[in-house]
């Protein structure tokens, strides 16, 4: 801020000079005092709040009795999981009150490395949403799979200095932290030396292991499954995120841990948020509705969506309505339904009555398009040649990314190859490496997915984003993989050797350059065809469920391009079960 701007801010605050505009007839949500202020105006100049009081101005914004809250901050989100670009996610989120998001781009960085990060940073500058980033800490996400890039501590030292990067993204290698592995220590020190934060990711961790994780400087957690998980992390000084995404939904379970004494250590996040979810139920406005429905005081809920998040991420220029802070303001009809009427970011009106007020300008994404290098794939690589009918199964569990580990007895032909049995809800799953041409194809079984016909192939597979294919027969699985490669990534549905639906994601195989509405419309049809033609269980989200089957840091059984992985033992395991 220049001296001239500072002088004007002070003069406007003191009433000696007119503001750019003054908001009147407003009920101000005071997140500091946990109260509602009536009968006062909000004076705004140069994108900042100058004062709260009585102000005269030639330009008046009549709030018409609306509540005005600080702009909402999503504390942890993967833009890539929405399948749209940073410019487009801003257009979708802002009308729901989102003014800042803390994004972890480890999906595109695992595919395209630093080029992927550079693309995301540049694309973020095209929109009005303030997108802050966390530098991906685990590329590849684990040592048990092949990704499109490898980033070590030395390569992190320069990007961590970027003002838009607040710290290291979720540190999924919690065993490496607990065991003080040398390469992990080097990465942690990259953040510490720049006085930047480190996001957490420690499902199921407790006791001394959690002590070691927190002692290393891990700051927050979005993987709490139980109230006890949340309470233990709060007691150790962490911030806990109430997560409500399109696939991972923990808010209702974890909100029971929130009390008047500890509420200031809770924040809100999406983690993943698909356009269909945003367009149908919203973003953090939906989180707030849910909080109130679960019995939480609405101002406490707003604190979690604003002040708590700002303090957690050291964004001291926002998070409340007070003199000198950014004029990131959300006009709400009430504090129950949280219907958003207007949104201002840095004093500029950016949305009104559900509409984003600007044209979307897109960054050139040519540097991160494609990214497929599959070698020697054929139908032969889908054959299993098993010796035992007793096999281990990845068991899908509801409403999350945690999977079970089961045992089933399957049918085999004379060569030991799997024969689909419609009376059993067990089918083949394969992961095809697509980044560095290893030719890896790993095989396993998945249960509770429900598919009875054909195959589905996707190139969105957290976190290394190899190709995942699930199907009832090798012919359709092979066709799905080959069609997916040909279209440059995304989603392909095949039945009886024919592609019945497809959805290309040309940016790294994980994002599209189309609109959120396009994604929602096409994904809805993909879901319909998956349920109606392939007969995937209607209790299962057909695409996002598969996206997490390679996530080898979430219990219990997962599959990467290298093989079937037992997350509890942190080691690979055989497909065949012991007798």
Same domain, 56 and 92: no
Same domain, 153 and 274: yes
Beta strands in 7-88 (DSSP E): 21-24, 27-30, 35-38, 41-45, 48-53, 60-62, 67-70, 72-77
Helix runs in 125-224, H state only? 153-156, 174-178, 182-193, 207-215
Structure tokens at 365: 């994404």
Total domain count, the chain: 3
Cis upstream peptide for 140 (omega within 30°): yes
For the stretch 163-185, pLDDT in tens is: 999 999 999 889 899 999 999 99
Does residue 360 lie within any of the structural domains?
no
DSSP 10-26: HHHHHTSS--SEEEES-
Range 197-213 burial, b when 16+ CB lie within 10 A, else e: bbbbbbbbbeeebbebb
- Whether 464 contacts 549, CB under 8 Å: no
Rg (CA), the chain: 25
Same domain, 116 and 245: yes
Separation CA 323–CA 104 (nearest Å): 30
Per-residue confidence (pLDDT) for residue 579, from 0 to 100? 63
Same domain, 151 and 292: yes
Same domain, 422 and 297: no
Per-residue confidence (pLDDT) for residue 473, from 0 to 100? 97
Same domain, 397 and 468: yes
Separation CA 555–CA 567 (nearest Å): 5
Does residue 282 lie within any of the structural domains?
yes
* Residue at which a domain ends, from 302, 319, 336: 319
Cis upstream peptide for 463 (omega within 30°): yes
Does residue 94 lie within any of the structural domains?
yes
Print the SS3 string covering 451-507.
CCCCEEEECCCCCCCCEEEEECCHHHHHHHHHHHHHHCCEEEEEECCEEEEEEECCE
The bridge status of strand 564-566 relative to strand 557-559 is: antiparallel
For the stretch 515-572, pLDDT in tens is: 999 999 999 999 999 999 999 999 998 998 999 999 887 889 999 999 999 988 889 9
Does residue 474 lie within any of the structural domains?
yes
Side by side, which strands form the sheet with 564-566?
A: 557-559, 564-566, 571-572
For the stretch 389-403, pLDDT in tens is: 999 999 998 866 789
- Whether 141 contacts 176, CB under 8 Å: no
The bridge status of strand 441-447 relative to strand 390-396 is: parallel
- Whether 417 contacts 383, CB under 8 Å: yes
* Residue at which a domain ends, from 319, 335, 352: 319
If we measure between CA atoms, which residue out of 549, 572, 579 comes closest to residue 409? 579
Q: What is the CATH number of the domain that holds 254?
A: 3.20.20.140
Cβ neighbours, 10 Å, residue 567 = 21
Same domain, 253 and 212: yes
If we measure between CA atoms, which residue out of 252, 245, 238 comes closest to residue 205? 238
Same domain, 251 and 394: no
Print the SS3 string covering 99-143.
EEEEECCHHHHHHHHHHHHHHHHHHHCCCCCEEEEEECCCCCCCC
Per-residue confidence (pLDDT) for residue 379, from 0 to 100? 97
Separation CA 247–CA 227 (nearest Å): 20
Q: What is the CATH number of the domain that holds 43?
A: 2.30.40.10
Any idea how long the chain is? 579
Same domain, 178 and 281: yes
Interaxial angle between packed helices 298-305 and 284-293, expressed in degrees from 0 to 180 and rounded to the nearest 10: 150
- Whether 167 contacts 198, CB under 8 Å: yes
Per-residue confidence (pLDDT) for residue 181, from 0 to 100? 96
Cβ neighbours, 10 Å, residue 569 = 9
**Mean pLDDT over all residues of the chain?**
96
Separation CA 76–CA 79 (nearest Å): 10
Residues of the chain with pLDDT under 70: 399-400, 579
- Whether 197 contacts 219, CB under 8 Å: yes
Per-residue confidence (pLDDT) for residue 299, from 0 to 100? 98
Same domain, 35 and 112: no
Does residue 441 lie within any of the structural domains?
yes
* Residue at which a domain ends, from 11, 36, 65: 65
Per-residue confidence (pLDDT) for residue 398, from 0 to 100? 80
Does residue 184 lie within any of the structural domains?
yes
Does residue 578 lie within any of the structural domains?
no
Same domain, 310 and 380: no
Residues 6+ apart with CB under 8 A from 33: none
Separation CA 275–CA 293 (nearest Å): 23
Range 23-32 burial, b when 16+ CB lie within 10 A, else e: bbebbbbbbe
For the chain, give percent helix, strand, coil, nearest 5.
30, 25, 45
Which residues make beta-bridge pairs with 165? 133
Structure tokens at 140: 């590849």
Separation CA 270–CA 258 (nearest Å): 18
Structural domain harbouring 21 = 3-65
Cis upstream peptide for 556 (omega within 30°): yes
Separation CA 386–CA 375 (nearest Å): 24
Give the whole-number percent of the chain exceeding pLDDT 90.
Answer: 93
pTM of the model: 0.93
If we measure between CA atoms, which residue out of 87, 111, 74 comes closest to residue 273? 74
Separation CA 392–CA 578 (nearest Å): 9
Same domain, 376 and 294: no
Q: Assign residue 15 a region: left if phi > 0, alpha if psi is -120 to 50, beta otherwise?
A: left
Cβ neighbours, 10 Å, residue 285 = 22
- Whether 458 contacts 431, CB under 8 Å: no
Does residue 361 lie within any of the structural domains?
no
């Amino acid at each position: 801020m220049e001296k001239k701007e500072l002088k004007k801010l002070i003069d406007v605050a003191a009433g000696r000079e007119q503001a750019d505009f003054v908001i009147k007839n407003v009920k101000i949500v005071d997140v500091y005092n946990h109260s509602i202020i009536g009968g006062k105006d909000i004076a705004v100049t140069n994108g900042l709040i100058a004062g709260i009081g009585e102000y005269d101005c030639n330009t008046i914004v009549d709030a018409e009795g609306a509540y005005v809250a600080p702009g909402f901050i999503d504390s942890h989100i993967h833009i890539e999981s929405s399948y749209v670009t940073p410019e487009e996610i801003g257009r979708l989120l802002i009308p729901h009150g989102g003014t800042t998001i803390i994004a972890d781009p480890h999906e595109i960085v695992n595919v395209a490395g630093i080029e992927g990060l550079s693309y995301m940073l540049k694309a973020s500058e095209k929109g009005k949403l303030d997108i802050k980033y966390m530098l991906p800490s685990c590329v590849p996400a684990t040592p048990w799979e092949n990704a499109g890039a490898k980033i070590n501590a030395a390569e992190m030292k320069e990007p961590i200095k970027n003002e838009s990067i607040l710290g290291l993204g979720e540190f999924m290698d919690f065993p490496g932290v607990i065991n003080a592995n040398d390469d992990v220590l080097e990465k942690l020190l990259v953040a510490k030396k720049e006085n930047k934060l480190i996001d957490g990711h420690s499902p199921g961790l407790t006791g001394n292991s959690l002590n070691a994780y927190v002692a290393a400087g891990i700051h927050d957690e979005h993987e709490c499954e139980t109230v006890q998980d949340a309470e233990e992390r709060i007691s150790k000084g962490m911030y806990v995120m109430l997560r409500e995404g399109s696939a991972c939904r923990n808010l209702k379970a974890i909100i029971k841990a929130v009390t008047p004494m500890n509420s200031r250590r809770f924040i809100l996040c999406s983690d993943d948020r698909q356009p269909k979810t945003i367009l149908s139920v919203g973003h953090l406005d939906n989180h707030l509705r849910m909080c109130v429905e679960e019995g939480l005081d609405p101002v406490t809920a707003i604190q979690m969506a604003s002040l708590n998040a700002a303090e957690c991420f050291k964004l001291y220029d926002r998070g409340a309505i007070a003199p000198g802070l950014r004029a990131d303001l959300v006009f709400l009809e009430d504090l129950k339904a949280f219907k958003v009427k207007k949104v201002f970011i840095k004093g500029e009106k950016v949305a009104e009555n559900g509409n984003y007020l600007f044209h979307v300008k897109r960054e050139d994404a040519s540097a991160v398009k494609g990214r497929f290098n599959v070698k020697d794939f054929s139908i032969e690589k889908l054959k299993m040649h098993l010796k035992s009918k007793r096999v281990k199964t990845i068991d899908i569990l509801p409403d999350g990314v945690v999977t079970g580990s089961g045992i089933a007895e399957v049918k085999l032909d004379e060569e030991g190859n799997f024969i689909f049995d419609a009376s059993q809800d067990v089918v083949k799953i394969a992961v095809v490496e697509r980044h560095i041409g290893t030719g890896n194809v790993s095989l396993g079984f998945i249960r509770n997915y429900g598919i009875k016909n054909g195959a589905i192939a996707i190139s969105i597979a957290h976190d290394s984003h190899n190709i995942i294919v699930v199907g009832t027969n090798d012919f359709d699985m092979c066709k799905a993989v080959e069609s997916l490669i040909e279209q440059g990534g995304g989603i392909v549905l095949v039945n009886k050797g024919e592609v019945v639906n497809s959805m290309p994601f040309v940016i790294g195989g994980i994002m599209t350059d189309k609109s959120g509405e396009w994604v929602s419309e096409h994904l809805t049809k993909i879901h319909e065809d998956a349920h109606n033609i392939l007969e995937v269980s209607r209790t299962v989200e057909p695409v996002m469920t598969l996206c997490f089957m390679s996530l080898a840091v979430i219990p219990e059984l997962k599959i990467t391009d290298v093989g079937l992985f037992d997350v509890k033992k942190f080691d690979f395991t055989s497909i065949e079960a012991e007798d």
